[in-house]
A and B are shown apart, each in its own frame.
Chain A
Amino acid sequence: MGRQCFLPNNDFMGVRLAGIHADTQERRTNPLVSISDEPETLYKRLSLLVKGHDKTVLDSYEYFAVLAAKELGISIEKVHRPPKKIERFTLLKSVHIYKKHRVQYEMRTHYICLELKHLTGSTAAVYLEYVQRNLPEGVAMEIKKTKIETIPEHIQKPVWDTLPEVEETQVKS
């Protein structure tokens, strides 16, 4: 690839420039990346609650999610494991009569909560898509996003000061 590079530190041609994300020019050279003009949404906190029936699967998934967050440069606030919830119910063992003989079933749900902080909109989209696509079978996830915003323009000042004077009509009771 004989590409003209006008960066001072790259005077050897034909080298793949992907992976160096410090320069904005590098981002533009990646053909898949497009930068839009709209302002970035900011997420103060992203809370991932992963639920599953098998604790070992959740542990492996937690290792994967934590490593992915570290590699993408996302700060992890804390990782904690809420206590498991067991849902039990008792059914009659036989189809007809025999009330004294029952069978009990239970469903165990284990949880892992991953709290990340200070994410931008595009970083959050990338991380969530990566992590959700690799969600194993039989595992569910709840994502709580806390977005921070400025006060909109129409709440900055009361509107009554700017409105023209309107004659108040008498309310006839």
Chain B
Amino acid sequence: MVAVSGPLLAVAGYWALLSRCGGRARAAAAAYSSVPAVSSRGGKQKEASTRRTSRPSQLIRSHAPPRTERMAVDQDWSSVYPTAAAFKPASVPLPIRMGYPVKRGVPLPKEGNLELIKIPNFLHLTPPAIKKHCAALKDFCTEWPSALDSDEKCEQHFPIEVETVDYVSAGTSIRNPKARVVTLRVKLSNLNLDDHAKKKLIKLVGERYCKDTDMLTITTDRCPLRRQNYDYGIHLLTVLYHESWKTEMWESEKTEKDMEEYIWENSCSQKNALDTLLRIKASENASNVTKEELLASELTNFSA
């Protein structure tokens, strides 16, 4: 009890002293308020009032000047943005504004602008940076052979064209099922085919041959991999080529309706013409019954 009352009395005594001394003590307390050890109660009251109005110093980030202020005009920009990165307003020394402006206002500045961060930027691909990259990549490139200048020369030496398609897109999977399609194109004039072989090949192939450009197009996509489709396409071409050179026994039964072009020799039109001419000759001079060979020679003169 005595120990408790001691400090209470001391406190009471302190307050009594303050109230008694009045202005002088208060002035003294105010003078000593900056030193927290001496006038603890006055200092705490002051701190409490300041805490309500401004935030504590730990939560305020130090406002260091942005990096743009220390950037030289002739700096190496490819070291600031070497790879694709988001837009950092403190690293880009440009006064960019983006956003829809309010009425009679301007677009928003770059600080904290989400629109500038969202859009893909090409800050890492400035022309000097592209030139640097290409200079480093040039060692891995090879020259196109200078002898193959035009399309005609390419076709003369390399007649087969193989067309493949690659697909690049963002998604859960990098695979695209359309990538396995392979298209082979050849001009039949470049293949070693004789007349019969060419006609048979065109009949075998059907719609895949275009008569105007003399181009055979084989599109394969029945295999799951592109290389397999390419091999299958070459296999088809080989089989077609060799089968067209074969002459089967039933090909001798080819009728006039199966012919691709009209052949006048041994056709009914020639027979009819010969018959008519024979009869004319027979009616004109009964003695001059010439042989069909002579008429044939006349007819060849007419038809030629």
Contacts and interface: CB of A to CB of B under 8 A. Distances in A.
B119 to A, nearest CB: 7
Interface of B: 84, 119-120, 122, 124-125, 127, 130-131, 133-145, 148, 151, 154-155, 157-170, 186, 190-192, 197, 234, 237-238, 241-242, 245-246
B170 A138 contact: yes
B169 A140 contact: yes
A127 B144 CA distance: 14
Range of interface residues on A (Cβ < 8 Å):
35 or more
- A-side interface mostly: mixed
Given A119-B144, A151-B160, A152-B234, A126 B168 contact: no
B158 A71 contact: no
B138 A21 contact: yes
A158 interface: yes
- B-side interface mostly: mixed
A159 B137 CA distance: 46
B169 to A, nearest CB: 4
Instruction: Identify which of A64, A144, A155 gathers the most chain B CB atoms within 10 Å of its CB.
Output: A155
Contacts of B160: 148-151
A63 to B, nearest CB: 8
Nearest to B165: A144
Given A73-B138, A148-B155, 11 more contacts: A18-B139, A42-B145, A57-B119, A119-B144, A122-B140, A123-B144, A137-B120, A145-B165, A150-B160, A155-B237, A158-B192
The 10 closest A-B pairs by CB, nearest first: A71-B134, A136-B120, A158-B245, A140-B169, A148-B158, A123-B141, A143-B166, A141-B168, A147-B162, A118-B144
Interface of A: 18-19, 21, 26-27, 30, 32-33, 40, 42, 44, 54, 57, 60-61, 64, 67-68, 71-73, 118-123, 126-128, 130, 132, 134-152, 154-160
A132 B154 CA distance: 28
A140 B170 contact: yes
Contacts of A141: 167-169
B130 A158 contact: no
A118 to B, nearest CB: 5
Given A67-B127, A135-B168, A155-B237, A42 B158 contact: yes
B142 A40 contact: yes
